[in-house]
Amino acid sequence: MSNYKNPYPTVDIIIEYGDGIILIERKNPPYGWAIPGGFVDYGESLPSAAIREANEETSLNIELIEQFYTYSRPDRDPRFHTVSTVYIAKGHGELRGADDALRARVFREDNLPDEIVFDHRDILNDYFIYKKTKKRPGIK
């Protein structure tokens, strides 16, 4: 049997909260701000992983609204090849950064931080376009 090297499945969750969306400041490299998310555990569904990761990093309960898009560009994560399914969700509760997050904050399109890691700035740009036009990202 051949030895296959496959991408790692991940989820990212654009959490709508208050008048903006939540980003977390990463505790581990690569450092910077990111959309909450992480790796899918063996035996876990994508929606379950999204709910778990969102709660671990933001302390919020979330309601998944829709599956937005899947991002798979091989260089999207500098550590290794990941494939991320991105969800849009509503957040409920008291926001507090935890687990892999130093802190969590609410941002709007006009005040995003400069240091956004991975391809998350592209994902956020796609999200803000979608919110205005209802046009989903094209194949990349």
pLDDT tens, position by position, 14-67: 999 999 999 999 999 999 999 999 999 999 999 999 999 999 999 999 999 999
Rounded to 5, what percent of the chain is helix, strand, coil?
Answer: 20, 35, 40
Superfamily (CATH) of domain 8-133: Nucleoside Triphosphate Pyrophosphohydrolase (3.90.79.10)
Domain boundaries, the chain: 8-133
Count of all residues that appear for the chain in the document: 140
Looking at 5-9, 20-24, 53-57, 96-100, which range is the least confident one?
A: 96-100
Mean pLDDT of 118-127: 98
